[in-house]
């Protein structure tokens, strides 16, 4: 599925909201990647 700009923006906003309430370290990492958009995993390296 291609990441459109609108989908990317919605995904990032939702991830940032969830990140504030998250306590699980693995889930935090996942949400941080999502908050960077569709290329979030690439930004880790």
Residue 32 near residue 40 (C-beta atoms within 8 A): yes
At 8, list the tokens: 């990317």
Domains in the chain: boundaries: 5-44
Percent of the chain with pLDDT over 70: 87
Mean pLDDT across the chain: 85
Per-residue pLDDT tens for 26-36? 999 999 988 88
At 28, list the tokens: 């935090």
Q: Which of 7, 2, 14 shows the shortest CA–CA distance to 32?
A: 14
d(C-alpha 28, C-alpha 25), whole Å: 5
Q: Would you say how long the chain is, in residues?
A: 45
């Amino acid at each position: 599925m291609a990441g459109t700009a609108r989908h990317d923006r919605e995904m990032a906003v939702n991830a940032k909201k969830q990140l504030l309430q998250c306590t699980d370290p693995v889930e935090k990492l996942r949400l941080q990647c999502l908050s960077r958009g569709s290329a979030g995993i690439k930004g880790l390296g």
